[in-house]
Amino acid sequence: EAQVTQNPRYLITVTGKKLTVTCSQNMNHEYMSWYRQDPGLGLRQIYYSMNVEVTDKGDVPEGYKVSRKEKRNFPLILESPSPNQTSLYFCASTDMMNTEAFFGQGTRLTVV
């Protein structure tokens, strides 16, 4: 089954404690991206990657890092989380024919 898998689904952490949200896809897609979704603000792109070792900033990259060492994985790293990063995060992957984006099930992060 084609899918994008994020882990964890829920995470409560404290300010400043480094964390990683993993994302893996099994569709051999070149393109992957991370979004955050906040009430009233909609989905905003954090980072995207067009292929292995190729990443670029989206609209709201501050406070986040990503890496793309393998095609299937695209982890999101918060080196020093702050309460304003409390949000619902989604990973997505797309093939290079620019058709549909497949989204993960989401990670609800709370930073206290």
Partner 1 sequence: SQKIEQNSEALNIQEGKTATLTCNYTNYSPAYLQWYRQDPGRGPVFLLLIRENEKEKRKERLKVTFDTTLKQSLFHITASQPADSATYLCALDLYGNNRLAFGKGNQVVVIP
Interface with partner 1, residue 80, by CB under 8 A: no
Q: What is the largest CA-CA distance in the chain?
A: 41
Binds partner 1 by CB under 8 A, chosen from 41, 70, 82, 84 = 41
Locate the DSSP E strands across the chain.
4-7, 10-13, 19-25, 31-38, 42-51, 54-57, 65-66, 76-78, 87-94, 101-103, 107-111
Nearest residue (CB) to partner 1, 15 versus 105: 105
Per CB under 8 A, 108 contacts partner 1: yes
Cis peptide before 8 (omega within 30 of 0): yes
Count the neighbouring beta carbons within 10 Å of the beta carbon of residue 108. 14
Q: Is 48 in the site for partner 1 (CB under 8 A)?
A: yes
Which residue from 5, 58, 72, 86 is in contact with partner 1, where contact means CB under 8 A? 58
Site residues (vs partner 1, CB under 8 A)? 4, 31, 33, 35, 40-43, 45, 48, 50, 58-59, 88, 90, 92, 94, 98-106, 108
